[in-house]
């Protein structure tokens, strides 16, 4: 996962304790990804579906 500025990453409402850019291994299924950008209250929410053996790349920009 890449972002225009560093952001804290939450998956399914849980803080991963990680900041973008990161790589996450998630179980198959639907997930809610939230990036909360450092230094602001801006957050991006995106639903993602992970498929068996699939790779999902997310790129987010603050303010979108």
Each domain of the chain, given as residue ranges in start order, spans 2-54
Band of residue 62 on the pLDDT scale cut at 50, 70, 90: low
Dump the DSSP string for the chain. Answer: -EESS-EEEEETTEEEEEESS------SEEEEEEEEETTSS-EEEEEEEE-TT-----EE-TT-
pLDDT in tens, 13-25: 999 999 988 888 8
pLDDT score of 63 more than 70: no
pTM for the full predicted model = 0.82
């Amino acid at each position: 996962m890449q972002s225009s500025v560093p952001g804290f990453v939450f998956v399914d409402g849980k803080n991963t304790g990680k900041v973008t850019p990161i790589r996450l291994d998630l179980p198959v299924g639907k997930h809610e990804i939230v990036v909360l950008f450092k230094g602001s209250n801006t957050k991006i929410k995106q639903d993602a579906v992970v498929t068996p053996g699939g790779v999902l790349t997310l790129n987010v920009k603050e303010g979108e």
